[in-house]
Structure 1
Amino acid sequence: MKEADSINDRFDPIADAAEPAEFSGRWSVDFESSDELAIGTFTVDADQIASGTFLTTTGDYRYLAGRVDGPYMRLSTFDGAHAFLFHAEMQDDGSIKGDFWSGNWHHETWTAVRDDNATLPDAFEQTTITNEQALEELVFKDTEGNPTRVLDALDATKAKARVLEIFGTWCPNCADASRELVSLKEKYGDDLGVVGLAFEVTEDFARSSQQVQRHHAHIGSDWEVLIAGISDKAKATETLGFLDRVRSYPTLVFLNSDNEVQAVYSGFSGPATGDAYAAQRDRIEAIIDKMIDE
């Protein structure tokens, strides 16, 4: 049996396909299930091998790869948590019509128009603080089952700049964000403290604790994580009480050494997003630098 050794093996070429359509570039994307526009970025090489991703207000679809045959593009990914398949067909007017499947349980259609200037709303302006007093009162169990006040965990870092990481171990975008926080910790050392609040897929504490410890080992993180609850966003919003809404996992809350919230960042653009990832890093570093310099 031939061993699959490249993206060429992912999709069979379409026989007698016409000249490949021009999918490379930046696209404004409308998914059937969402009221908010997304951005698609695609590249196609001389062998018709395609790669790219979709950026949304809650995160990105990470590394997609596939091929172009005539007017058709097929892309897919499997990251251990999600299996995504995208089909796209170039229309006569230069727009795209497509289908999206997630696993064997979800399907929706999507359309796109080429837009080199497509942008998403500012991720720092999507989520607001509604009740900072509620943050002061939050208590969750650590992975050993010890009730721990969130602000006490932040204070234990003794850092000038602090990040409260609202995440789930089941979430690939959260893994990207955690890796970024590990990198930032390496840069800033003790000046940056991180505490995680894990919202998991079940309310089984033992299972959630085990998942968090596996996440730590896989990511290479070592900060305190508290088991905060179940991943349902409405329930997470109610549990936390200090945000207007948990819009996405991850959500990063930036606090100074007095535990005063300085910014909230919703979602995360991972390394698959290229320039967006780099620009995001610059903005996050600017906030951390400002807190350290105060």
Structure 2
Amino acid sequence: MELRQLKYFIATAEELHFRKAAERVHVAQPALSQAIHQLEEEIGTLLFERNNRNVALTAAGKVFYARARVMADNACMAVHEARGVGRGDAGMVAIGFISTAAMKVLPATLKHFKEVIPAAQLELRELGPGEQMEELARGHLDIGITISEVLDEGFGVLEICREPLIAALPDRPPFAASAFVDLRDLAEETIITPSRHPRRGYYETVADAYRKAGVKPANIQCVRMIQTGLMLVGADLGISLVPESFKAIQIKGVIYRPLAEPRPEISVSAVWRSDNVSPLLHKFITELGELFPR
């Protein structure tokens, strides 16, 4: 059974006139009649009752028409969707992201991309830098938004932005009265930071900041998420260095202060497999670059 036969059958079933049906599908009437005859032979029953004056659907023809209409509509939709995916106008992009990106990069990116390509579907997964690289390697993600600084061969990377770190502090003396803080004054405080991963990332950025300040924190408390660390800061269990955008998160008992110069920064980047040829992915990367020009 061919789509062409379904198209001819549907036109005839709706027109109930062979000449009008042939004109509708732009073929000669004998070609249409032959295609329908072949379809009836393939199915093994008559679909039309024919006489010199009238054409009518048989009972089998009525049942077949209902199903054929659905098949034809689905085929048309499949063609439309396939063309859209091929042009990068439709399909799905699986995106991994870190919590830092969720605050600064992701909201504007997703809103903009859905406006530009409304038919695109975006699958979001919050993952750490190491987890993102693993999922990218396995083909489970199309793109990761991460702070990992060490990449394997075979990956493309686009730096999206750099964001300064600020101090999240318990709302108590001496921090409450300070306009800014120096890491050298925080050496005796427990530093709460996201856990270390096999790849260089947030943990190493915080460690570098202390090293450049010439101090070593008295104690390090690792957590999975930055937000968890903020809850611990609110309980006066330590301090944390967080991206500047996180000061939008208001937690009782937590205050935010800028760090003294030189201020450490994190680099937020998009990472993808170089062999991923998805047109939609590459449109996403292009839009990301235009939204966050460097």
Question: What's the TM-score, normalizing by structure 1?
Answer: 0.18
Higher helix share: 2
The structure whose RCO (Cα within 8 Å, separation 6+) is larger is: 2
The structure whose Rg is larger is 2
